[in-house]
Structure 1
Amino acid sequence: MNKFCLITNRNKDADLELTNEIVKYMTLHQKDCVCVDRKENCGYTSNSSSGNKGQTFSEEIEEDVDCIIVLGGDGTIIQAADSVCGLGIPILGINLGTLGFLAEIEKQQIWTALDSLFEDNYSIEERIMLHGSLIEGENVESLGIVLNDIVISRSNFSRIINISIYVNGELADSYRGDGVIVSTPTGSTGYSLSSGGPVVKPDADILVITPICPHTLGARSIIVSSGDSVRIQINENKQPNEEGAVAVLDGRPAGELKAGSSIHITKAHEKTRMVKINHVEFFEVLRKKIGQGGEKG
């Protein structure tokens, strides 16, 4: 790899001290480096090529960039993945946050990791993504592409929502509750996990549908093929004005829903390409970062 783009979370590297050190190291090794969200380049507000709304990473990232290096936490990595997925450029995450489950590299490993990139000593892991559309009557609006999850939840002023879940047009479940999460395997260790959903290996080709605080004992997570079509419909409640809901794509509010509105979710054509250097197994990372199980006996 010879040309890199750095995306820095300014809350994690406020003075750009680490960012500048990486730039100097790349320059020393005669590598090209472009920075996003630095003071001299921070005027980026355009939408990404993937069509996602409200993203802050620029379309001006050149297509011949070999690797995007993200300095921040999981949120920054997810936002970068959603924003640049249309470019197909592999992403390496450097953890400057707390958990950093998606980040391949910890801060103390940066220089060794950069040397591995310079020497082409790495592999690429592809992660599936989701595409969501808002359906209201005859109108269909694309909401964008996400790496983690699409969440339909009650709005601030609604007490509860009544939803129906359809898979390939067939009714799978209906219940009243706080909402539902449709996640990729990557997103299974996020909101879905905290809502009682299963942990899924990131290379699995499935989707996870997890209810949020359902008012029934029978509602549980549903596993479907990534090729399946999922539709979440908002139904009328017994009391008026109680069906207000919102759609949230990877933490980004994407639209208000009312009775009769639906969110259509399918696997996106695009994929997130993650750089792997350490080759640490998934369950080892899971144990260390989320506390699954104890130490090896």
Structure 2
Amino acid sequence: MAANPAKYEKLALVCSQTDRADKAARELRESQDFVPLSQADAVIVLGGDGTMLDCLHDMLDGGQILPVFGLNLGTVGFLMNRYHGAIALGRRLAEAKAMPILPLRMNVTTQSGERHTFCAINEVSLLRETRQTAKVEISVNGRVRIPELAGDGILLSTPVGSTAYNLSANGPILPLDSNMLALTPISPFRPRRWRGAILPDRSRVTFRVNEPAKRPVAAVADSKEVRDVAEVHIEVAREMEMVLLFDPHQALDERIVAEQFMT
């Protein structure tokens, strides 16, 4: 759907710490007034996907979630739009396609009993901490599906993250509107024939670490890491829906489809 231009009159600017992004920020400030994030209707992000994810996480942590229009001044820029200078920024925002995304919520209990909660826009992954293979029990909606997965780890990915780490681990690419999650093993040793699962995004997934003293495991929600975990519960945080803004015909849903035909 097209964005309502009246909603995006007050813009905040977030910029990565690179020379390219700093130069672009100066160009935009010469033609556009920006306000603090607390007063904004939307956010312009200058940088790459890492800067975009940092901005989204800052909003999740701060409790103020605004639509975000990213301009790529990084490397890949999968979550970004092309940077064309300050020309027609207002028009681009008025014509932008709004894409809602839902983050995951990870609730972790460590071996010592500490509890942590983090959100992930791309994926939650469990990774072995040492040379020892990780052994993880996998449950979905309270039912044990795999009593013991042995390997480097396991991840649960959103559609947004399905073209990132999930794809590198040979997981499936998920259309943005699929309402699905990808459960993907990382270098699995046992069971040999299991290559993962596609789950409805209303699923609640639980990982329990087997033999934790011998085989310690870390849990990572995007870039937030908790070590020596005992149990991890993951579900979609529907009340934290976020909106990314894209130029027409260059939106995230089309990019995810196109990624399936890359050779």
TM over 0.5: yes
Partners in 1 of 2:163 and 2:9 — Cα distance?
33
CA drift at 1:82: 1.9
Verify the 8 A CA contact 1:160 1:242 in the aligned structure 2. no
Name the residue aligned to 2:173.
199
Name the residue aligned to 2:228.
257
Structure 1 position 175 matched with structure 2 position 163:
no
Q: Residue 111 and residue 159 in structure 1: after superposition, are their counterparts in 2 closer, same or farther (change >3 A)? A: farther
CA drift at 1:123: 3.1
Name the residue aligned to 1:95.
72
Higher RCO structure (Cα 8 Å, ≥6 apart):
2
Residue 106 of structure 1 aligns with an amino acid whose one-letter code is R
CA drift at 1:284: 5.2
Superposition TM-score, scaled by structure 2 size:
0.86
Structure 1 position 72 matched with structure 2 position 72:
no
Partners in 2 of 1:140 and 1:231 — Cα distance?
17
Structure 1 position 131 matched with structure 2 position 100:
no
Q: CA RMSD in A?
A: 2.4
1:33 pairs with one of 35, 40, 44 = 35
What runs of 5+ residues in structure 2 fail to find an aligned partner?
1-7
Structure 1 position 108 matched with structure 2 position 115:
no
What runs of 5+ residues in structure 1 fail to find an aligned partner?
35-60
Count of aligned positions = 251
1:213 is paired with a residue whose SS is: strand
Structure 1 position 242 matched with structure 2 position 244:
no
CA drift at 1:9: 0.9
The aligned runs of 1:49-88 (5 Å cut-off) are 61-62=37-38, 64-85=39-60, 86-88=63-65
Partners in 1 of 2:220 and 2:169 — Cα distance?
16
The aligned runs of 1:274-293 (5 Å cut-off) are 274-280=244-250, 285-286=255-256, 292-293=261-262
Residue-by-residue CA offset, 1:131-187 (whole Å, 9 max, x unaligned): 0011248957232212111111011x3421101111011111221100011111101
Name the residue aligned to 1:214.
188
Partners in 2 of 1:11 and 1:172 — Cα distance?
46
Superposition TM-score, scaled by structure 1 size:
0.77
Name the residue aligned to 1:163.
136
- Identity rate of aligned residues, in percent? 25
Residue 8 of structure 1 aligns with an amino acid whose one-letter code is C
Name the residue aligned to 1:54.
none
Residue 170 of structure 1 aligns with an amino acid whose one-letter code is R
